[in-house]
Structure 1
Amino acid sequence: MIHDDQNQPLSLDLNDIRQQIDSVDIQIHELLNRRARLAEAVAKAKFASESDPLFYRPEREAQVLRKVMERNKGPLSNETVARLFREIMSACLALEAPQSIAFLGPEGTFTQAAVYKHFGKDAVTRPLASIDEVFREVEAGSAHYGVVPVENSSEGVVNHTLDCFKASHLNVIGEVELRIHHQLLVSSNTRRDSIKQIYGHQQALAQCRQWLDAHFPDAERVALSSNAEGARRIRNEWHSAAIASDIAANLYGLEIFHGNIEDNPENTTRFLVIGREKVPPSGNDKTSLLISAHDRAGALLDILEPFARHNISLTSIETRPALPEKWAYVFFIDLEGHIDQEHVAKAIEEIRPLVKEVRVLGSYPMAVL
């Protein structure tokens, strides 16, 4: 016997079930339009009361998605329900004020997939050629926000992104964790028994090294600026394949010859969302710091000690050269907590006298999806 969410038995008559589905669909539709009208009312209220209204609220959206997952009772999974609400919020935000999101392009990259995961399909996406350009577009106000890769669980940090933060005053306002599945793509022109070249970004080629060694040991591996660039190239070549995403396959009309060829099935890339504003606490946050230390023994230990004393968990520590100085370094540190929390603020203030510079890159909600 099947029961509804009030534990009442449901009819097993197919026509009756379909009529109930139609009735529920009508209710859902009415509620969606009601929510959309409320979003339009929010926009009018903000324009009436604020000279430069802020429409995207990362902390608010994170709180809504967490509540969705907390109250979910199934049979849909928490993640499925949260994704549905993510798209509802995206559509409603587009009614208030469409958000322009710059990302490391071209179209069809995993960074674009991260944009859609975080902002939903109604975001206005702007592919750019480099990480530097993403930072510049957001700094200039030509895009509301930007999304850039920062680290991969298999291949480590993206140094270019960390280096951009050294010269930028943008804030980190969010993070996206995206499970990376690499597909080996071919076109209608490809002779599958004569593949001599395989295109891909250098990190994609590295993340699929063992699979390629086993299945295409003699094929030349050609590193390109992006996976999407490889997908574009093979449309007109008969001897080539490309490593790219499902999005790229759909975008460029290609076929998945072999699916999920990454060596590590848990392969995940973390992306950062950058913007000009600061984000209030959401209740479950991270803070990213840039710390320039003095060149002396024990400098890192001095930095870490206040965090340990205030019981602050560090989730990442990375080091980059502090160019143009020789043998000088800056540390990028991610920690659990928000700068507005007393114990986090105290730890940071205790570190300031010990180093050349402490810069808070941003406090932002931990990835929900």
Structure 2
Amino acid sequence: MSKIYFQGTFGAYSHLAALSIDPKAEVVPCKTFDDCFVQASKDTNSKIIIPESNRITGNIGIEYLIFEYRLNIYAEYFQKIEHNLLGIPGTKVSEIKDVYSHAQALSQCSKFIKSNNLTEHVRADTAGSAEMVSISKDKSKAAIASSLSAKTYNLEIIKNNIENEKGNLTRFLVMGKKILQPEFSGKKYITSFLFKLKSKPAALYQSLGGFAINGVNLTKLQSYPEKNSFDSFFFLCDLDGHIEEPRVQKSLEDLGLHCQDFHVLGVFEADKQREINK
């Protein structure tokens, strides 16, 4: 049986995403994102599923771990985020005074929270908030979390789909120590890599010219400072295409001329959700 590590507790959106990817896998919770990466580095037969960005609130903030551990990316998965107000069975919305959840979930449900005059309490994760409410048995407390959390902690969905905007998605990455790469065929692929440029004027501008010349579309380009540094940056990048395509190879060769550090993180099929959201 395969093993998938995720950050949080049972019932988290990461847990939901792991079950969607591999329903038969052994799903193992970790306290932090760092723990997930450490486990996958030690256990070569395991995978981790990590939220990378959210459609509304942006980056989750795990880029430094991607840079440090350089695990291979096997897949991307877009999980629909549907927030629910969970409480002790039999509770009415009017009885609830305090609501607990992750900061991003609270932000994504701000309109509902304000219209019901609820007091926000930030917690480490959504599922952990649901577990706390369940243990408290206090009808004045509620959590914002997934429907899976409601089942896991015997809570009732007092109000479903309370998010400000419908159709919210979180992009998850499935990663591991082993290097696996799909063969190039007629499917749509993403090639993900990181690089650090040589220190010279206009280095970024010059390094990206090869992508334009070769007609390669960059779907993600983000800079991050190296640890304990404000003048040394690395870049995370995704492009449309498979690394075996000649135009992709040529553009990466051109980039390499300007790099001090270059590392391919993975080649994987593009999630079908990308086409839906165009």
Normalising by structure 1, report the TM-score: 0.69
**Percent identity (aligned):** 28
The 1-side partners of 2:197 and 2:77 are apart by 29
The match for 1:163 among 57, 64, 74 is: 64
What do you get for the CA RMSD once the two structures are aligned? 1.7
**Does residue 135 of structure 1 match 2:41?**
no
Q: For 1:245-272, what per-residue CA distance to the aligned partner results, in whole angstroms no more than 9, with x for missing partners?
A: 0100111111111111111112100000
Deviation at 1:171, TM superposition (A): 0.4
The match for 2:127 among 228, 233, 236 is: 228
**Does residue 326 of structure 1 match 2:230?**
yes
**Does residue 210 of structure 1 match 2:111?**
yes
The match for 2:9 among 92, 106, 115 is: 106
**SS of residue paired to 1:163:** helix
The 1-side partners of 2:45 and 2:132 are apart by 29
Deviation at 1:169, TM superposition (A): 2.9
The 2-side partners of 1:296 and 1:238 are apart by 61
Higher strand proportion: 2
Deviation at 1:221, TM superposition (A): 0.8
**Does residue 240 of structure 1 match 2:141?**
yes
Mapped contact 2:8–2:128 kept (Cα < 8 A)? no
Deviation at 1:104, TM superposition (A): 1.4
Map of 1:152 onto structure 2: 54
**Does residue 194 of structure 1 match 2:98?**
no
Map of 1:20 onto structure 2: none
Map of 1:272 onto structure 2: 173
Mapped contact 1:180–1:269 kept (Cα < 8 A)? yes
**Does residue 184 of structure 1 match 2:85?**
yes
Q: For 1:198-235, what per-residue CA distance to the aligned partner results, in whole angstroms no more than 9, with x for missing partners?
A: 1011111111112222233xx22111111001101112
Higher mean alpha-carbon deviation, 184-193 vs 314-323, is at 184-193
Residue type of the partner of 2:155? L
Deviation at 1:297, TM superposition (A): 4.4
Mapped contact 2:92–2:158 kept (Cα < 8 A)? no
Q: For 1:152-204, what per-residue CA distance to the aligned partner results, in whole angstroms no more than 9, with x for missing partners?
A: 00010111x21101111310010100111000111137564332211011111
Q: How does 1:1-369 map to 2 (within 5 A)?
A: 98-119=1-22, 121-141=23-43, 144-159=46-61, 161-188=62-89, 190=91, 192-216=93-117, 219-235=118-134, 236=136, 237-275=138-176, 276-281=178-183, 283-368=187-272
Mapped contact 1:175–1:271 kept (Cα < 8 A)? yes
Bigger RCO (CA 8 Å, 6+ sep): 2
**SS of residue paired to 1:356:** strand
Structure with max Cα Rg: 1
Q: For 1:285-309, what per-residue CA distance to the aligned partner results, in whole angstroms no more than 9, with x for missing partners?
A: 1011111124554332223211111
Higher helix proportion: 1
Deviation at 1:143, TM superposition (A): 5.2
Q: For 1:104-125, what per-residue CA distance to the aligned partner results, in whole angstroms no more than 9, with x for missing partners?
A: 1211011111111222x21111
The 2-side partners of 1:207 and 1:294 are apart by 40
Normalising by structure 2, report the TM-score: 0.91
- Unaligned runs of 5+ residues in structure 1 are 1-97
